[in-house]
Structure 1
Amino acid sequence: MAGVYSAVSDGVLALVALLVAYRCLRNALQAPAAGFALIGTAALVGSMRYGGFTAVLPLHQLLSSWAGWSGLLLVALYGAHRRAVGILLVVGLGLAVLGLGGQIQLATNVLALAILIARAYRLRAQQFSSALAGSFGFTVAGLVVGTQGSWGGMARLDLYHLMIALAVISLYRSLPKKTAV
């Protein structure tokens, strides 16, 4: 039965992240759109995996590693040149394929969080609080909640997915908007 709940929680994360990626594209925020799309695509495939379609396990592991290594960093690099975003995507995919993404995931996520917090200082109060909430949401999800075991009868994996979904919404709210959406 836990697989069903994990499929649903990953599905919620996929829906949120892909919708946010679409909205970022509409606002000409290519780097965050790529980061949120990676997170959403990994979650979509994860939803299929936890829903019983086990043939996607290798793809889910690859996409999760890729999204874990470069997803948050891409969000932090909004406004970056397209070439830099492309290089980061290719390097991230290469590390994920080689199985090295997890080795440096913590370092790149700490860097991304530092960039987000540093940029948050220049934001209005609402954007500042959203940036901090999103940054700390990712941190708590990864370092405190994790994906193994359970809390109060709920699988930590499901809590992790839902916390990341909330963090995605918070980070999106902190990004500059160029057009009405």
Structure 2
Amino acid sequence: MNMELDSDRLVDAYLNELATEAAALPAGRRDELLDDVKAHIAEARAAGATSEDEIREILQRLGRPSEIVAAATDGLVEVEVPPRLRPWDFVAVGLLLLAPYLLSFSVIVAVVGWVIGLGMLWSSNRWTTLWKLIGTLSWPLGYAVALALDTFFQAPIGISLAADALVSIALTAALVLNARPPRQTS
């Protein structure tokens, strides 16, 4: 069983490296390439290649993932992978995080800034609906935590404000980390 797990790890590591190298390919070509290599490995394993050494030999015969991708791009134009977040996505996230803290200056400025951030968030194609909802609720959830600490535990204002900031920052960081690049067409 341990030998099989080691072989599986080798294959998984190889396929992960191949997927990383192939990220610049159009989605259809990338999927086709990965499926072809997976099928080749599966055929070799079905033919009796089970030991770690046999799997290493199969992977070595296939070649390095960078070489496979180079051969697959022969005659193709590489597609640049767009960044996860564009400048206005950073502005949206910044407004969602910072606008609530403008309440001490002006309620109108805080609310307008937050609403603009919400509009930018919901019009972006970088997040799923779930993450847009989480971004929308980051200010209310942070405020609810601070209010709960104050109401139920009579926590000092500093602790309540720190908890509010911590929740808001954590949700905003999660929002940024879960942004996705737009889908590429093949």
TM-score bucket of the superposed structures, by smaller chain: 0.3 to 0.5
TM-score (normalised: structure 1) = 0.37
TM-score (normalised: structure 2) = 0.36
The higher radius of gyration belongs to 2
